[in-house]
Amino acid sequence: MRRKGFENAVELVILASAMTAIAGLFLIFIFIGKEALPVFFSPEIRDEAGLSKLFLAQAGPHPFSWQPVSLVPKYSVLTLFAGTLKATLVAIIFAAPLALGAALFTAEFAPDWLKEIIKPVIEILAGIPSIVLGFFALMVMATFVQDAFGTLYRLNALVAGIALGIAVIPVIYTVAEDALSGVPYSYKEASIALGATRWQTASRIVFPAALPGILAACILGFGRCIGETMIVLMASGNAPLMTWILDSPIRTVSATVAAELGEVVVGSGHYHVLFFLGTLLFVFTFAINLFAHWFVKRLQKKILGIT
């Protein structure tokens, strides 16, 4: 009888622990969101940093300026969005072909001994903390890029984008490689039996069959780039400029939060806008993750039948 009671208590504890993940996500949303609410609802904060100030063009010579620490604080988040987008685009354009190419190579063409080298190396890359990559970008890559391309600024979106790309290669590679190796052998068998070359089988049968996973890989990589902080903090020059020029410094959403939250006054407009940005980051990456997984399931059903 006593044992039964003890068992029930333990089961409760285990159930409570299992709820931590759900509770965690929930609490994250609530506690970050609640500090963002004044941007919507508090009259004083709205005056200084309401939605119109964040998203619409302001009067003056610089309509989309992010300058929270100044006589007249300016909070155009569009500049930050532009910065994030710029760095992410550079990163994906750089990383996706490399990662997907490598994934295709190790899944379809590489001999076993070569696979045993490439895969672990990419795993090693995955284990390198982003602070280290950011450091490398700051100390070495920036100089290299400036010498090679003659850019005006040493730290800019290009450097940050490439470093970001290096960081996100393992993510794209792993998911894409999983998808490619998961294509049933029977598909390849049929193609080979019809006399197709290795490349033909890979490009016309395997790759399309793995497309849901490959797309998911890119989407997940995109999501990772959006949220990445340290690399951008160190390598992007941290100046909130909004321009199409590739080699100008930028400020991303995540870097802004990281750089400015340390010195902000609790309860000020700046403070709430930073939390607002954080909420946006959370919601956006959450949505991307949900979408990527739902999307993969949906497409997988269509292409491979119910797995």
Partner 1 sequence: MIGRIFITLTGLASLIIVLFVLVILANIAHHGLGTLSWEFISSAPAHGMTAGGIFPAIFGTILLVLLMTIAVIPLGVMTAVYLSEYAPKRSALVSLIRLAIQNLAGVPSIVFGLFGLGFFIQFAGVGLDKFFFNSQIVFGQPAIIWAALTLALLTLPTVVVSTEEAIRIIPDSHREVAYSLGATRLQVVREIIIPQAIGGILTGGILAVSRGAGEVAPILFTGAAYFLPALPTKLNDQFMELGYHVYVMATQSPDVEATKPILYGTVLVLLLLTFSLNFTAIWIRSRIRKKMRALR
Residues 190-229 that bind partner 1 (CB under 8 A): 197-200, 203, 220, 223-224, 226-229
Nearer to partner 1, 19 or 57 (CB): 19
Angle at Cα 291 formed by Cα 162 and Cα 168, nearest 5°?
20
Contact criterion met (CB below 8 Å) for 222 and 288: yes
Give the residue ranges of DSSP H helices in 182-304: 185-193, 198-201, 207-209, 211-227, 230-235, 253-260, 269-304
Which one among 57, 69, 140, 152 touches partner 1, defined by CB under 8 A?
140
Near partner 1 in 143-162, by CB under 8 A: none
Which one among 91, 122, 157, 242 touches partner 1, defined by CB under 8 A?
122
Cα separation of 118 and 106, whole Å? 8
Non-local (6+) Cβ contacts of 92 within 8 A are 165, 168, 218, 221, 222, 225
Which one among 87, 104, 164, 214 touches partner 1, defined by CB under 8 A?
104
Which one among 41, 109, 149, 291 touches partner 1, defined by CB under 8 A?
109
Nearer to partner 1, 16 or 56 (CB): 16
Residue showing tokens 């004083």: 44
The answer to the question of residue 97 lying near partner 1 (CB under 8 A) is: yes
Which one among 65, 130, 146, 236 touches partner 1, defined by CB under 8 A?
130
Q: Least Å distance between CB 91 and partner 1?
A: 13
Dihedral pair phi/psi, residue 237, rounded to 5°: 90, -20
Cα separation of 24 and 27, whole Å? 5
Q: How far is CA 252 from the centre of its chain?
A: 12
The answer to the question of residue 295 lying near partner 1 (CB under 8 A) is: no
Near partner 1 in 36-95, by CB under 8 A: none
Which one among 81, 216, 278, 300 touches partner 1, defined by CB under 8 A?
278
Residue showing tokens 């620490």: 69
Nearer to partner 1, 34 or 52 (CB): 34
Which one among 289, 295, 303, 304 touches partner 1, defined by CB under 8 A?
289
Nearer to partner 1, 15 or 193 (CB): 15
The answer to the question of residue 240 lying near partner 1 (CB under 8 A) is: no
In one-letter notation, the amino acid at residue 240 is: P
